[in-house]
Amino acid sequence: MHQKLKETLQEIEDDDILKQLIGWFQDLIDGTIGQELETRALQGLRLTHARKGFLRSEFAVPSLAADVDGNWHGGAIVSLMDAVGAVAVYSAFHHVVKSVDFSISHYSTAKIQDEVVVEAKVVGNHGKIVQVMMEARRKGNGELIAVGKMWVALNNFTVTTASKL
């Protein structure tokens, strides 16, 4: 297990489901499970803080997630935010989620190897519909790169296999 993941898990209260979820998410980040698109978008992501309904992660924009000009590709940003947002919701409600509305606004860009902080926070709960907000900021100066808003529907399934939330 990665040292940073061990440190993150130590911050989590005695919540076995959340610990399992973070372990599953680390496997997705490492490319052990999931699809090529997810692997490219999440390559090198490091979880720095996790609690119910909130995740913070950092990473250097990998070349695999860049466009021809060396900018962090918009599709890679969306894929990363989708995954981080879904994990934040699952951490709070222990339900598999299905996106019903997802919007993202791009304010700036990041280049290959730029350090970025990505946060996801559950901000609304309306029974079976939950809202999560995601932000990507430049690590050095906090400049806003993108903001995402996602509404998800909860279902009663639980994650028992290596599948997308």
Q: Band of the pLDDT at 163, cuts 50, 70, 90?
A: very low
User: To which CATH superfamily is domain 3-154 assigned?
Assistant: Hotdog Thioesterase (3.10.129.10)
**Where is average pLDDT lowest: 81-90, 124-133, 154-163?**
154-163
- Dump pLDDT digits (tens) for 97-121: 788 999 999 999 999 999 999 999 9
CA distance 29 to 37: 11
Q: What is the pTM of this model?
A: 0.80
Question: Which is it for the CA torsion 77, 165, 55, 121, positive or negative?
Answer: positive
pLDDT, position 130? 93
Where b means 16+ CB within 10 Å and e means fewer, 39-62 reads: bbbbbebebbebbbbebbbbbbbb
For residue 8, report the phi and psi dihedrals to the nearest 5 degrees.
-60, -45
Report domain extents, the chain. Answer: 3-154
CA distance 99 to 101: 6
What single DSSP character describes residue 62?
Answer: P
Rounded mean pLDDT, 85-89: 90
Question: Which is it for the CA torsion 83, 87, 90, 95, positive or negative?
Answer: positive
